Structure 1
Amino acid sequence: MNSDAIWQNEYPFTSRWHEADGHRYHFISEGAGDQTILAVHGNPTWSFYWRNVVQRFSDSRRVVAVDHIGCGMSDKPQEYDYCLETHAANLSSLIEAEDLRRITLLAHDWGGAIGLLALTKHVDRFERIVLLNTGAFPPPYVPWRIGVLRCPVLGPLAIRGLNAFAGPAVTMAMSRRSLSPEARAGLLAPYKNWADRVAIDRFVQDIPMSPSHRTWQPLERLEAALPSLSHLPTMLIWGMKDWCFRPECMDRIKKSMPHAQTVPIADAGHYVMEDATEEVLDSIDSFFQSTDAPSATSATSHPST
């Protein structure tokens, strides 16, 4: 990716590597301190999505952002068990290898389910949860624009051959504004060809449409486990113009985690971190300040903003 100078100034971080499931698992780790932000991306993004979080918070906390196998700068094996539980196991292995503690989970899209599954294996290492436009349950619907890409043969041809998922996302996942040329180039940089897009396609195929799908039951178990996390202060930040993880997804998580604060951003889309950068960062900052305070005992709901 040396030719992509247009975006590299926005991602001036040192690459680190972890062996996960026999492959190189890329992550960045910036900053220091006894608290860690663990940033977990979804599909079809990568750790670049979290660059502004690193810039904002690495002066006071350690910020670790991962690339799932098949994504970003991680290895992209063509024959691999790409599924929710494998991604969660890889993340768990990094948590253990880096001995991460006092973690705030920061997750978006598929990163929510992946991160929360890993959290349930290491609850004692986590202090907070911040979720952005995600799901933690079997999907109640699949948008038609994604459903058509699940068709055998034609789906992979479109996603991997024509870049019909990552390519349109840089436009369709925004609502308030357009991505800058640097952000657009950065988000697309790791996904240049058929081989590079293998995990993007497999994420789409891993969306469970019925209880017989291998990922349905892990998502059911995850949703059932959410109430047990009520001791962890939680914030839900949502781009309300998201046509994929629509507002009812936020409401469904809220039913299982009624202690969670909610920050709906009325005119932001699915890439809420890109669409409403300052609002998201300021909300996270305020959340940290309120939950770091000695008098803070737990997060409570506040009126919609």
Structure 2
Amino acid sequence: MTQAIGCRVEATPGNTPITHIPDDYMPAGSGRWLILPEGPDAGKKLFFYDHTFGGDGKRKVDATLVFVHGNPESSYTYSQVITEVERQAAAGKSCRVVAMDHIGFGLSDQASFEMVDMHHANNLKQLIAHLNLTEVTLVIHDWGGAIGTGAFIDTPERVKHLVLMNTTIFPMPLQGMNCTNFPMRWLPWNTLGYRVPWRLWKHIPPIVMFSSVGPWKMITRTLDYTLRAISGRLTEGEVLYRDMFKTRSNALSSKRNVKQTKVWGHGYRYFDKDQGWQDNRAFYQNMQKKVPECWGPSGQHIGVRGFWGEWDPCARAEVREQWQEALPQLSGHMQTFPEVGHFVEEHKFVEIAAGIVEVSGLG
């Protein structure tokens, strides 16, 4: 395995605020922390796990799956999908599974500035080089779409297949349903990044990630969560996502991603008190140009699958059409779920796993 110069790995965590790790967070013994050698996060510990199941260990694996999460998630959001992939894979097939927690999320070190997708993509590039990931089935959700695509697009030959879930790298239509009027016109998602104080932000992720479809169900979910939080009856997953953002630095970094949703895919400029002016417009333009060129029919013509929870701006028809225009091979390979919202991987993990198994040749 080729390592990037200057990379090293440790087996102990850094300053993550999470103190209780669910038993199914990762395959036993697979967790590691990469000490990032470059960029604004140099010296920080990036959590990842690298696990292989099936096969005899003597030949090349049949597939390499790389799972990239978004905000306000961690790699744990894919735990049910990954379990299902292993269950559904054909006997004798071997699969390498790689998943990571971005800085400021999960078991990685806390953020030290307000990070967005281009910063996380730069960190992921270092992990890709360290693990020498090739022939990858890239699985992306939410901001993981821009992070994962942005990390791989300058070495596009590393990607063999792409699996999309409620994500975009293209300019979100400014008319119709978007993050300035969803899920409620009087309380849109984008404004929560401004309205909710950092001390209360830790309660937003466990509420929205496990909420049912519809404004009133979200309100009911909020009341139910509040009562159970007061009485100490939260689930392991709810505790995990709450504790992940109980520090000011992680909460502010997560809130910055939410502020960006107003112009998702258009590019974004903001001022960070530690890093100065930050601008990810060139980051998006690079992906928007190279994805069709490199991964479309005139390039590598990679296999693509899409899964969409329809109660979500990221799943609206116009967004799906943008993906299909860039990657025409996606036609006939999308599943939509009207009764599901943004966090489709938490609800339709059986169907998503089946798509991953099929496209990556594990069936």
TM-score normalised by the shorter chain: which range applies? Answer: 0.7 to 0.9
Does residue 36 (structure 1) correspond to residue 108 (structure 2)? The answer is no
1:237 aligns with one of 287, 300, 307: 307
**What does 1:181-220 correspond to in 2, within 5 Å?**
181-207=235-261, 209=263, 213=269, 214-220=279-285
Provide the C-alpha distance between the structure 1 equivalents of 2:74 and 2:18, rounded to a whole number of angstroms. 17
SS at 1:31's partner residue? strand
Following TM superposition, by how much is the alpha carbon of 1:247 offset from its aligned partner in structure 2, in angstroms?
A: 3.8
- Gap change, CA 1:100 and 1:39, over 3 Å in 2: same
Counterpart contact for 2:121–2:151, Cα < 8 Å = yes
CA distance in 2, matches of 1:136, 1:112: 7
Superposed displacement of residue 12, structure 1: 4.3
**43-52 vs 212-221, greater mean Cα deviation:** 212-221
1:148 corresponds in structure 2 to: 191
Alignment of 1:74-223 (within 5 A): 74-78=108-112, 80=113, 82-141=115-174, 142-144=178-180, 145-151=188-194, 154-155=195-196, 157=197, 159-163=198-202, 165-172=204-211, 181-207=235-261, 209=263, 213=269, 214-223=279-288
Partner of 1:296: none
- Matched to 1:43, the amino acid is N
Q: Where does structure 1 lack aligned partners over 5 or more consecutive residues? A: 294-305
How far apart in 2 are the matches of 1:211 and 1:136? 10
Distance 1:285 1:54 in 2: 10
Match of 1:27 in 2: 48
Amino acid paired to 1:63:
V
Give the CA deviation at 1:173.
Answer: 6.6
The percent identity for this pair of structures is 26
- How far residue 17 of structure 1 moved from its aligned partner, in angstroms, is 0.9
Shift of 1:138: 2.9
Task: Report the equivalent of 1:256.
Answer: 326
Q: Distance in 2 between matches of 1:68 and 1:162?
A: 18
- The TM-score normalised by the length of structure 1 is 0.81
Stretches of 4+ moved more than 6 A in 1?
175-180
CA deviation string 1:144-183 (max 9, x = no partner): 32221343xx45x2x5534363143134476799999344
Q: For residues 11 and 60 of structure 1, what CA distance do their matches in structure 2 show?
A: 21
Deviation at 1:245, TM superposition (A): 4.3
Q: Does structure 2 conserve the Cα–Cα contact (< 8 Å) formed by 1:10 and 1:182?
A: no
Q: Could you tell me how far apart the structure 1 residues matched to 2:253 and 2:341 are?
A: 23
Give how far 1:236 is off: 1.2
**SS of residue in 2 equivalent to 1:225:** helix
Give the match's secondary structure for 2:48: strand
Quick check: 43-52 or 115-124, which moved more?
Answer: 115-124
> Which one-letter code corresponds to 2:51 in the other structure?
E
Higher relative contact order (CA 8 A, sep 6+): 2
Distance 1:88 1:163 in 2: 24
* 2:34 match: 18
- Counterparts of 2:19 and 2:122, CA distance in 1: 33
What secondary structure is seen at the aligned counterpart in 2 of 1:27? strand
Whether 1:276 and 2:348 are equivalent positions in the alignment is yes
* Structure 2 residue 80 is matched with structure 1 residue 52: yes
In structure 2, the CA distance between the partners of 1:219 and 1:160, relative to structure 1 (3 Å rule), is farther
Whether the 8 Å contact between 2:267 and 2:284 is mirrored in structure 1 is: no
What's the CA shift for 1:16?
A: 0.8
Q: Quick check: 169-178 or 188-197, which moved more?
A: 169-178
Q: Distance in 1 between matches of 2:289 and 2:115?
A: 23
C-alpha distance after superposition, 1:83-127 (max 9, x if no partner): 222211111110000111111100000000111111212211111
The residue type equivalent to 1:143 in the other structure is: C
Larger radius of gyration: 2
Q: Distance in 2 between matches of 1:241 and 1:16?
A: 36
Q: Is the 8 A contact 1:226 1:256 kept in 2?
A: yes
Render the CA deviation track for 1:182-207: whole Å, top value 9, x for unaligned: 44344444223434423311212344
Distance in 2 of aligned mates of 1:52 and 1:148: 31
Aligned with 2:305: secondary structure? strand
